[in-house]
């Protein structure tokens, strides 16, 4: 019996020794594993959104914010350009390239996405030297390099012209462009043409915006 118990007791003692002594020394010599950092769910930032989602959030989702927090600006139409490829010399000589007297105001802001959003109303002389009015909404996707910025988007709303429906309001949507520095911007809306002698007209204007819109 003693011959049987002695090996068992020796084995138990050896096991206890290994359990209490060796793990502590092994911990001192073994390299420490990097702590596991719990993964966090990634949240959206403005530039991660698809352009159509940015457009929706900045327009339909932020109309009241634009009206309440937007800054007032002055819009000065400066020049009407009739593209040479679309009109003959005789036609261009008959057309008016000077939109004055012209004046416009807007209320706009750079949205959390960084893009430009504004409400506006404007009067100018059209290609036939007749007064025209337009009012509505302008949205531009903006890129920046320091204080310099440029953008492309759309201008939409209602327009009243002598040569279209005798000044009855009609809806429109046109491509728009801008380049600016700090609170000054040069903007353009372009009227595409379907055939020679129609459309293909760009209206250039100067926008002066109040507020810290950088």
Q: Which residues are catalytic?
A: 82, 126-127
Report the C-alpha gap between 60 and 117 in whole angstroms.
Answer: 11
Report the C-alpha gap between 119 and 155 in whole angstroms.
Answer: 10
CB contact set of 213 (below 8 Å; sequence gap of 6+): 71, 108, 109, 110, 183
Backbone φ and ψ for 102, nearest 5 degrees, come out as: -145, 145
Report the C-alpha gap between 175 and 190 in whole angstroms.
Answer: 6
The most distant pair of C-alpha atoms in the chain lies apart, rounded to whole Å, by 127
Report the C-alpha gap between 64 and 42 in whole angstroms.
Answer: 29
- Going 44 to 112 to 122 to 85, the CA torsion angle's sign is negative
């Amino acid at each position: 019996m003693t011959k049987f118990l002695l090996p068992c007791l020796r084995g138990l003692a050896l096991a206890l020794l290994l359990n209490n002594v060796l793990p502590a020394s092994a911990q001192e010599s073994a390299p420490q594993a990097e702590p596991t950092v719990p993964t966090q769910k990634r949240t959206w930032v403005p530039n991660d959104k698809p352009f159509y989602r940015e457009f929706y959030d900045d327009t339909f989702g932020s109309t009241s914010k634009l009206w309440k927090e937007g800054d007032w600006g002055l819009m000065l139409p400066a020049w009407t350009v009739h593209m040479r490829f679309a009109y003959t010399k005789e036609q261009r000589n008959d057309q008016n390239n000077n939109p004055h007297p012209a004046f416009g105001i807007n209320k706009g802001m750079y949205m959390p996405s960084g893009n430009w959003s504004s409400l506006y109303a404007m009067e100018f002389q059209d290609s036939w030297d007749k007064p025209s009015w337009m009012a509505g909404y302008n949205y531009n996707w903006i890129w920046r390099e320091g204080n310099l910025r440029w953008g492309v988007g759309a201008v939409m709303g209602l327009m009243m012209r002598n040569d279209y429906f005798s000044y009855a309001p009609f809806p429109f949507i046109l491509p728009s462009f801008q380049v600016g520095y700090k609170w000054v911007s040069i903007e353009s809306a372009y009227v595409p043409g379907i055939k020679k002698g129609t459309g293909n007209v760009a209206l250039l204007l100067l926008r002066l915006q109040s507020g810290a819109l950088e």
